[in-house]
Amino acid sequence: MKTSLPSLQNWVEAVASQTHPDKIHWCDGSDAENEQLVGAMCGTGVLSPLNEETYPNCYLHLSDPSDVARVEHLTFICTQNNEDAGQNNNWMDPETAHKKIDALFQGSMRGRTMYIIPYCMGPIDSPYSRLGVEITDSPYVVVNMRMMTRMGMEALRRIETEGTFVKGLHSTGDLDPNKRFIMHFPEELTIKSIGSGYGGNALLGKKCHALRIASYQARTEGWLAEHMLIVGVEEPNGNVQYLACAFPSACGKTNLAMLIPPESHKGWKIWTLGDDIAWLHLDDTGQLRAINPEAGYFGVVPGTNEKTNKNAFDMIQSDTIFTNVATTTNNDPWWEDKNLGAPVKDWQGRDYDPSSGPAAHPNSRFTVSAKQNKSYSELADSADGVPISAIVFGGRRKELAPLVYEAKHWKHGVLVGASVASETTAAAIGDVGVVRRDPMAMKPFCGYNFADYWQHWLSFADKSDRLPKIFHVNWFRQDNKGKFLWPGFGENLRVLRWIMGRCNGSANAVETPIGYLPKKGEIDTDGLDVTDQTMQELLSVNVEQWKIEMDSVGEYLHSYGERLPEDLKNEYDELVAKLKIAS
C-alpha cells in the first residue's frame, strides 16, 4: 500500500491487473530516482548521453519515426452526448471508447515497469492548481513529467488531502499507429492514451490534462484553461504588466515568452511565467489572474539560436532532454538554424544525407526545467498567479491580419479570438502551411463544444468590469516575394509597448471596422530597417480582403448551428455591417 487514498490505490490495482506489469514503481520525484531512471534508459538505449563537456547532463532520445507529433485524428473527446464534444472534436461514446482502448491496454505492460506519477499542475500551494496521477510504462515519460510538472511526494500528499485527481493511463503499447488512441473522458476526469511516446500524446499533464480536461472543468467551475504563454514586461521605470498570449503550436509562443529586449530598449526587462498554457481565474476584485500549470518547457528546437531566442538557446546547454534532433561529430545536439557545427547523424540516427530531408525533425523538442531560463519569473511559483492586463491572440498569416489591433471591448475580443486562423505547422501530423481556423489557438485542445466555449468566454463580460483588453497580432506578414515585412523576435517588444500603452491609457489608436489600430507613428520604429510604407502596409485594413475573410468566418461560426451564442452572432453582424459601410 503506497497511498492512504483508497480511490487511488484501487485504481492502481485495477490497472495493474489489466496491464500485467512486471513491477510497480511509485514515483517520489527525487534526484536519486531520476538518476536511476536516466541510467537505466542509457543502458537500454532509450536515452543516449550527449557530450558531457559541452552539454552536461543532456540526453538524446530518438523516437519511433512514426511517432513524432500530436495525432489529432486519433484524439477523441468521449462525452455521453456527442453534441457536448462538438464538431471541433472527434467524438466516441464513452462505453465504446473504454471498450476499444481497454482491449489495447490488456497486458500492454508485460515485461515492463508500471510507474505511478502523482503530479500537481500549478504551484503546489495554489488554490488554482489541480492534481493528477499518470500511470505509464515509459521511463522517458517519467523523467519528462518530472521537469514539466510538480511531481512526486508533495503532489501525492495534496492528492491524498483533496481526494480528487485526474486519472491518466498511458502505455506506449507497441507503437503501431493503427493501435494508437488518445482518449479523454472529461465527465470522468479520465485520460487513456496508448501507442505513442510523443510529448503531447504521452505527457498527460500537458495537453490532455491542462488543456482538454481542464478546459471542461474550467467551464463548470467558472475559469479558463488556455493555450497561452504568460509574460511580464517591465518598463525602465519598474512598472510591470503581464500579458497572456494565445498562438497556435509552433508560432513563437516560447520566443515571445522569453524575448530579449533589443539594444534600442535599454532598461526594459522580460519575465517569463509560462510558454504554453495559462489557467485564468477572476479574483475577488474582478481582476483576471494567471498561473502557469506547468513547471518546464517542451519546446520546438529547430530555429533556436543566439539571435532568435538567446534565453532558450542558453537554457538548453545543460540538464536538457533532446528528442529527435541530429548530432555532430563530437556528439553535440544539432538542429536546423542552430548556426553552429554540422550534423553527422540525423534524427533517426542515420548518417546525415541532405537529400533525406532536415537533419533534425522539424518538430524535434527540448524538455527543460523552467528555472533554467534566465528570464524566469519567481512569480511563476506564486500561489496567487499574476494579474493580466492584456490577452493577445495571433496566428501565422501571410496576408490580411495587421501587425496589431485591439478589440473594441470584451465581447468583440471573443469574436477576434474565435476568428483566429493560422497556417498549420509540424507540431501535429498532417499538411504544413495550410490556413485553418484555430479559435483561441485551441482547435486541438478544447475539451468541449466550441460554441459552448465561446459562450463561456462571453459570460466573463457579466462577471467583471475590469477585464483585460483583448488584442490580435500577426508577426508573419509577407510581401509578394515571400519576405517577412516585420523583423519579429526581440523587436516584437515594440508592439507589446503599444499594447501596454493601450492598457494604461498612454497610447493612441485609430478606429477601423475591425478594431483599433495604432495611430501613425505610435509603433516606435527607430533604428529599424522598416520603411514608412511597410508600416502602412502592416497597419492597414484591406476592406475587400476582410469581407472575404468575414464570409469565411461567418460560414465557420454558423456551422455550429443553434448552439452558436447570440452575442457572438451580434458581434459578427456588427463587424460585417461596418465593413459594408467602409467599402
Catalytic residue among 58, 120, 208, 251: 251
Nearer Cβ to Mn ion, position 249 or 372? 249
H or E stretch at 24? strand 23-26
C-alpha grid cell for residue 135? 500511470
Nearer Cβ to ligand OXD, position 210 or 407? 210
In the list Mn ion, ligand OXD, none, the entry touching 294 (Cβ below 5 to 8 angstroms by class) is: none
Place of cell 509560462: 274
Distance CA 278, CA 421 (A): 20
249 binds Mn ion (CB under 5 A): yes
- Binding-site size for Mn ion (CB under 5 A) equals 2
The site string for Mn ion over 264-303 (x = CB under 5 A, - otherwise) reads: ------------x---------------------------
Number of Cα atoms under 13 Å in the Cβ half of residue 576: 14
Dump the DSSP string for 33-53.
HHHHHHHHHHHHTSSEE--TT
In the list Mn ion, ligand OXD, none, the entry touching 200 (Cβ below 5 to 8 angstroms by class) is: ligand OXD
67 binds ligand OXD (CB under 6 A): no
130 Cα distance to chain centroid: 17
The site string for ligand OXD over 237-266 (x = CB under 6 A, - otherwise) reads: ------------x-----------------
215 binds Mn ion (CB under 5 A): no
Q: Assign residue 53 a region (left: φ > 0; alpha: ψ between -120 and 50; beta: otherwise).
A: alpha
In the list Mn ion, ligand OXD, none, the entry touching 396 (Cβ below 5 to 8 angstroms by class) is: none
H or E stretch at 171? strand 166-171
User: Is 251 annotated as catalytic?
Assistant: yes
Least Cβ distance, residue 405 to ligand OXD (angstroms) = 24
Q: Where are the beta strands (DSSP E) in 428-468?
A: 435-437
Nearer Cβ to ligand OXD, position 249 or 474? 249
298 binds ligand OXD (CB under 6 A): yes
Instruction: Look at residues 404, 402, 408, 420 and name the one whose alpha carbon lies nearest to residue 540.
Output: 402
CB atoms within 10 A of CB 575: 22
C-alpha grid cell for residue 220? 463548470
Nearer Cβ to ligand OXD, position 126 or 249? 249
Q: Is-contact 284 257, C-beta < 8 A?
A: no
The contacts of residue 538 (CB under 8 Å, 6+ apart) are 402, 403, 477, 485, 486
Sites for ligand OXD among residues 135-194 (CB under 6 A): none
Least Cβ distance, residue 211 to ligand OXD (angstroms) = 9
**Longest CA span, the chain:** 72
Least Cβ distance, residue 324 to ligand OXD (angstroms) = 13
Nearer Cβ to Mn ion, position 232 or 252? 252
Nearest-CB residue to ligand OXD? 249
Question: Looking at 70, 146, 361, 477, which residue binds ligand OXD (CB under 6 A)?
Answer: 70
Question: Looking at 122, 200, 395, 518, which residue binds ligand OXD (CB under 6 A)?
Answer: 200
Distance CA 40, CA 29 (A): 16
Distance CA 232, CA 376 (A): 10
Nearer Cβ to ligand OXD, position 210 or 541? 210
The contacts of residue 532 (CB under 8 Å, 6+ apart) are none
Least Cβ distance, residue 38 to ligand OXD (angstroms) = 22
Nearer Cβ to ligand OXD, position 123 or 200? 200
Question: Looking at 109, 228, 243, 427, which residue binds ligand OXD (CB under 6 A)?
Answer: 427
Least Cβ distance, residue 395 to ligand OXD (angstroms) = 13
Least Cβ distance, residue 316 to ligand OXD (angstroms) = 15
Of the listed pieces 243-251, 297-305, 374-382, 460-468, which binds Mn ion according to CB under 5 A? 243-251
The contacts of residue 449 (CB under 8 Å, 6+ apart) are 83, 84, 85, 86, 87, 88, 89, 560, 563
Place of cell 470522468: 188
Chain residues in the site for ligand OXD (CB under 6 A): 70, 200, 249, 276, 298, 427
Residues with a known catalytic role = 251
Chain residues in the site for Mn ion (CB under 5 A): 249, 276
